[in-house]
Structure 1
Amino acid sequence: MNNTTHTSNSVNYTATSWKPESVIIPLVFSLIFLVGTIGNSLVLAVLFRSGQMNNNTTNLFILNLGVADLCFIIFCVPFQATIYTMDEWVFGPFVCKAVHFFIYLTMHASIFTLATVSLDRYLAIRYPLRSRELRTPKNALTSICFIWGLSIIFSGPYLTYYKQIDMNGTIACIPVWRVPQRKIMDICTFVFGYLIPVLILSLTYARTIRYLWTAVDPLEDMSESKRAKRKVTKMIIIVTVLFCLCWLPHHLVILCLWYGYFPLNQATYAFRILSHLVSYANSCLNPIVYALVSKHFRKGFKKVFSCILRKKVTNKVHVVQVAHTVSTVEAVSTEVSHINEPQPSSSSCSQSNGRQWGAGEQTSPHDKSPNTFITFNVT
């Protein structure tokens, strides 16, 4: 996933010709950044407020996906967008290495998480009783730690793959490995970071779908539990298909560059830009899918928004009351502190919406307020 191009010739080419992307691309990147940051932050807020993080393995994996997407958006998208607007790299050698490391780190973390959750869904649907001892939050957290550890191993070499260099007075962030080493690294990334996980996803979901649509008698009433599992599986499958489709053009470009025919002209340059935009846009699509497919996420999003608006209105009322009290009466400090006490209307926002998340449990009304959760967590 190299926006800076793989050869010095392509860097010179992109820096000197055809520049409409210097305006269009930053706008698209800005939209991706805005939608992705808000959307994934809302997903994290809804999951934390749902009160089901301690007994729902699927929510833990969805949370991990949101963290990976948010990391990618914050650490990668803003810096990569400048490649099409500036003639040289201006962020220094450390950021040059770090940005590309996080690109591949989050890519591996996302695809490994999707592969793991596909196995989780298969066990939950095919062996609902026997898999309970295996599908525990503790094992899910262990899997997530293993996913990030494995992602670090596969993306670690990219800390030396890229380097900031001076090319005839122009500072560029480009690959510095020798061609044979780069070929091996790119092929390993494709095989272990895309091909094998996609094969696992295809196999598990094929068996899951086959069981869902053949093992259940359509004439019999399906239980609420089975309906819920089918809806969750449908949502995860859509997320998986979108990830595979969005990242496929990027891998095709790399493969064509090394083993096919990929001339450096305006058409291939435009296709490379498109492949970057599509792969980067994937980081902001998951919240949209959750909102469209899951009524529980829609309710959660509405709840978070209502709490935000209610909190803003309450704060404005407090400010007006304080200003009015101080200007008309020589109020003592106890009166002002009394005005600023939390109001009952906003306390309800701190309560979880646990009944919507399948387990039927509610968290304590003393949970933190939504303002604590709606933070732009750096992934």
Structure 2
Amino acid sequence: LHPDGSPCTLAVHPFSCASPVRSLLHSPCTPFFFTSLLRSPVKNTTNLFILNLGVADLCFILFCVPFQATIYTLEGWVFGPFMCKAVHFFIYLTMYASSFTLATVSLDRYLAIRYPLHSRELRTPRNALMAICFIWGLSFIFSSPYLSYYQEFQLANLTVCHPIWEISQRKVMDICTFIFSYIIPVLILSLTYVRTIHYLWRSVDPLQDMSESKKAKRKVTRMIIIVAVLFCLCWLPHHLVILCVWFGYFPLNHATYVLRILSHLISYANSCVNPIVYALVSKHFRKGFKKIFICLLHKKAANKVHVAQVMNTVSTLEAELSEVTHVSEALPGRSSVRCRVPAQPWGEAELVGHQQKADGSFITFNVT
């Protein structure tokens, strides 16, 4: 709900308008991100988990950010009771999916580096897909209470989408969300990555340290650690604001209102920076992105050349048609010639003639 006073509302617009802009900037990168992973020659568990993280980011940006931005720009809720429940459900569904995926991929990286041989039977694409299904199922269970947490109702001649649970129930729910979606995943991330880094930098085998496989594992682990740290930093202000509301002093005024919007924007930014991290850190992602981009440019150039060839063919046929028309005037009876251009650009055009016989009937012939 908006706090009293118009100055607070005016200060909100620049921040709230930034959310759709971030969405538009991020959305074009997402198909390239997915295609780069899908075209990767190695369909390993890490690629599948990163792909799942990208799916969660895309769902969050498409189904959550645009609707949430209107809360701070419009006077009331205009999307109906179903979207009131669905939007907040998807917010927490994707948040849980992202945190659980990061925790799972941290375990995957630890096993891949610490026990590369013994973990091969466990770290298979099939098991990774099963783990992804389990992640989304668990995320659905944890976020399902938010289907009844929010409801659309009338308040002071305005339609609003606001929590309807009792304050004590809301407090318990928010604390549980903080514990299961943030504290526990962060603890898992911290424990696994500390042990992983310790093993990588304290390895005593110099030949293994110089191997290409070891270097590749270090780069992938570094990328995942950066993504995990960004997740922790981006979602921390959101959870701190909620905790301050329940356990601290958080009055409704201009400063706290802007602070709450900033916490939302920082959490939204987490879904936008992940592809940037992949592009900066992962050499394979950059190569895949470059290949896709070059293919699109070549395809566009080839289409232009083909269209030019078709236009030249049509122009040539029109010139021939003009000559044939003059010749047809000398034929007995009335005759006409027209150019038939195919509907598809890759088809062949042909000249078709019609001549009227003495008895009034027509004959059709092809002009070659």
Q: TM-score, normalised by structure 1?
A: 0.82
Structure 1 residue aligned with 2:26: 36
Offset, 1:60: 0.2
Contact 2:342/2:348 (8 A) holds in 1:
no
Paired residues for 1:135-284 under 5 Å: 135-217=123-205, 222-284=210-272
Q: Count the aligned residue pairs.
A: 328
SS at match of 1:130: coil
SS at match of 1:165: strand
Listed one character per residue, the Cα deviations across residues 120-154 of structure 1 (whole Å, up to 9, x for unaligned) are 00000000000000000111000000000000000
Contact 1:46/1:304 (8 A) holds in 2:
yes
Structure 2 residue aligned with 1:60: 48
SS at match of 1:13: coil
The one-letter code of the counterpart of 2:17 is L
Structure 2 residue aligned with 1:324: 312
The one-letter code of the counterpart of 2:50 is I
The one-letter code of the counterpart of 1:91 is F
Listed one character per residue, the Cα deviations across residues 264-305 of structure 1 (whole Å, up to 9, x for unaligned) are 111111111110000001001110001111111111111121
Contact 1:25/1:84 (8 A) holds in 2:
no
The one-letter code of the counterpart of 1:18 is C
SS at match of 2:152: strand
Matched residues, percent identical?
A: 67
How many angstroms apart in 1 are the aligned matches of 2:5 and 2:19? 19
Listed one character per residue, the Cα deviations across residues 54-113 of structure 1 (whole Å, up to 9, x for unaligned) are xx0000000000000000010011111112221111111111111100000000000000
How many angstroms apart in 2 are the aligned matches of 1:327 and 1:45? 40
Equivalent residue in structure 2 for 1:87, among 45, 53, 75? 75
User: Are 1:13 and 2:3 an aligned pair?
Assistant: yes
Contact 2:84/2:150 (8 A) holds in 1:
yes
How many angstroms apart in 2 are the aligned matches of 1:334 and 1:178? 65
How many angstroms apart in 2 are the aligned matches of 1:308 and 1:135? 34
Segments of 5+ residues of structure 2 without an aligned counterpart are: 318-338, 350-368
Offset, 1:198: 0.5
Summarize the Cα distance change of 1:334–1:248 in structure 2 as closer, same or farther, 3 Å threshold: closer
The one-letter code of the counterpart of 1:191 is I
Offset, 1:44: 0.4
SS at match of 2:128: helix
Identify the range of structure 1 (259-268 vs 249-258) with the bigger mean alpha-carbon deviation: 259-268
Equivalent residue in structure 2 for 1:118, among 100, 106, 130? 106
Offset, 1:24: 1.1
How many angstroms apart in 1 are the aligned matches of 2:30 and 2:272? 7
Summarize the Cα distance change of 1:57–1:15 in structure 2 as closer, same or farther, 3 Å threshold: farther
Return the structure number with greater strand share: 2
Contact 2:341/2:348 (8 A) holds in 1:
no
Segments of 5+ residues of structure 1 without an aligned counterpart are: 1-10, 341-379
Offset, 1:218: 5.8
Offset, 1:313: 2.0
Offset, 1:165: 0.9
The one-letter code of the counterpart of 1:128 is P
Contact 2:15/2:262 (8 A) holds in 1:
no
SS at match of 1:18: helix
Summarize the Cα distance change of 1:334–1:251 in structure 2 as closer, same or farther, 3 Å threshold: closer
Equivalent residue in structure 2 for 1:337, among 343, 346, 365? 346
Q: TM-score, normalised by structure 2?
A: 0.85
Contact 2:203/2:209 (8 A) holds in 1:
no
Contact 1:121/1:233 (8 A) holds in 2:
yes
SS at match of 2:313: helix
Offset, 1:26: 4.0
The one-letter code of the counterpart of 2:34 is L
The one-letter code of the counterpart of 2:256 is T
Summarize the Cα distance change of 1:14–1:122 in structure 2 as closer, same or farther, 3 Å threshold: farther
Using CA pairs under 8 Å that are at least 6 residues apart, name the structure with larger relative contact order, 1 or 2.
1
Summarize the Cα distance change of 1:18–1:124 in structure 2 as closer, same or farther, 3 Å threshold: same
